[in-house]
Amino acid sequence: MKEPRLGSLGQERCLLLGRVVPPCAASDDLHPLHRPSASTSAGTRVRHPSRHRHTSATAYLAASADRIKKGGHAALTTHAANPFLFKQPPYDPVRDFAMVGLFGTYPSILVVDAKGPHRSVADIIASARKTPGGLFFGYYSSSSRVPSELLRAATGTEMTGVSYRNVTQILTDLRRGDVAFAFLDALSAAPALQEGSGLRPIGTSAPQRDLRHPDLAAVAETVPDFAMEGWMGLAAPAATPPALLARANAAVADAVASPDVHKAFEEQGLTPRSLSLEEARNFLVADTRRWREWVRIAGIEAE
């Protein structure tokens, strides 16, 4: 039976802040909103949430949710995906939070060894079909595993995931040929896109090519309807007063429209985009539904 349409957006990094303030980016390198020029018309100073280390992702989610309920703030990743990646997530992304706005979207980049035989998505699919046992791909989190699993399901090929602790380890094994490919989110893929990296980007999970990288084909050009993009946005506790949400939404839109912030986002792989409050809520609801289906197709068991 043919799998359903793969959808359009996913692997998101949503910043959930107990106090509605312009957030830092979930990526360590994406910090344009931290700059003094990013202070908002709402009169709120930009703050970087302090980092916390926990023994597990579940522990981090629980501690972050508790901190937010007590009026603090925290940065959480894979917001819409968490209900399906964890057995007992401490919050519901739609029920417990109000989406404030969106900063932008970013794709995952399909990367291979530059010295290897694969130069296109079609090459990966053909190789998986003719290689006994199929191909191995690398991933560094449950959510980063999903694009490769969707490619496997959509093409009916054998592809087996290998789990890594971080992106650096994947890049090393790609260069050695230990794994055939990996999808890296665009915010982490910068090293792989640089000339001389020893790696070759051959596809983007965005629905169409990015004008910033016109030579990088969309996977959808080979696998119809394949599309999966991450996003970065701001959410507040569900009980936040509507007037404050509206002010915060306007502040986010102003920040995204700022030339400096817009340029900084683009330089690091994000496609800036703003949404109204209603659009942002509908966006989150739809993305949560997409993640439910993606995790099912990928066959990922909740941790």
The 10s digit of each residue's pLDDT in 80-112 is 666 666 677 777 778 888 888 888 888 999 999
Q: Give pLDDT, residue 55.
A: 43
Type of residue at 144: S
**pLDDT at residue 294 greater than cutoff 50:** yes
Count of H helices and E strands in the chain?
Answer: 9, 8
Two tokens, residue 63: 């501690």
Contact call for residues 260 and 35 (beta carbons, < 8 A): yes
Q: What is the pLDDT of residues 164-191, one digit of tens each?
A: 998 889 999 999 999 999 999 888 777 6
Residue scoring higher pLDDT (225 or 91): 225
Residue 43 buriedness (CB in 10 A; 0-12 / 13-18 / 19+):
exposed
Contact at 8 Å (CB) between 218 and 236?
A: no
Two structure tokens written together for 227: 């599309």
Give the global pTM. Answer: 0.76
Q: How distant is the alpha carbon of residue 172 from its chain centre?
A: 22
Q: Regarding predicted confidence, which is higher, 271 or 38?
A: 271
41: β partners:
none
Least confident of 15-19, 54-58, 104-108, 126-130: 15-19
Whole-angstrom distance, CA of residue 90 vs CA of residue 139: 25
The Cα–Cα gap between 109 and 111 comes to 6
The amino acid that residue 187 corresponds to is L
pLDDT value, residue 299: 82
Other CB atoms within a 10 A radius of the CB of residue 186 amount to 26
Residue 285 has pLDDT above 80, yes or no: yes
* Pair type for strands 181-185 and 135-139: parallel
Category of 259 on φ-ψ map: left (φ > 0), alpha (ψ -120 to 50) or beta? alpha
Residue 68, pLDDT score? 54
Q: Which two tokens stand for residue 122?
A: 């079609």
Average pLDDT over every residue of 269-296: 89
Whether residue 249 contacts residue 277, with contact meaning beta carbons closer than 8 Å, is answered with: yes
Q: What is the rounded average pLDDT for all residues in the chain?
A: 77
Cα 205 to Cα 185, 213, 251: the distances in Å are 9, 13, 30
Instruction: Evaluate if residue 16 carries a pLDDT over 50.
Output: no
| Pair of tokens at residue 96 | 């417990």
Per the CB < 8 A criterion, the answer to whether 290 and 10 are in contact is yes
Give 226-266 pLDDT, tens digit per residue: 999 888 888 888 888 999 999 999 999 999 999 999 998 88
Looking at residue 83, what is its pLDDT? 63
Flag whether pLDDT at 13 surpasses 50. no
272: which DSSP letter? E
Q: Which helix (H) or strand (E) holds 97?
A: strand 97-113
Q: How far are the Cα atoms of 175, 177, 189 from residue 168, in angstroms, in the given order?
A: 11, 14, 10
Q: How far is CA 242 from the centre of its chain?
A: 28
Higher pLDDT, 163 or 7: 163
Write down the pLDDT at residue 79.
64
Q: Which of 286, 289, 285, 252 is nearest to 104 (CA)?
A: 252
Q: CA–CA separation, 144 vs 78, rounded Å? A: 10
Give the whole-number percent of the chain exceeding pLDDT 70: 70
Instruction: Report pLDDT digits (tens) over 126-138.
Output: 999 999 999 999 9
Say how far apart CA 256 and CA 209 lie, in whole Å. 22
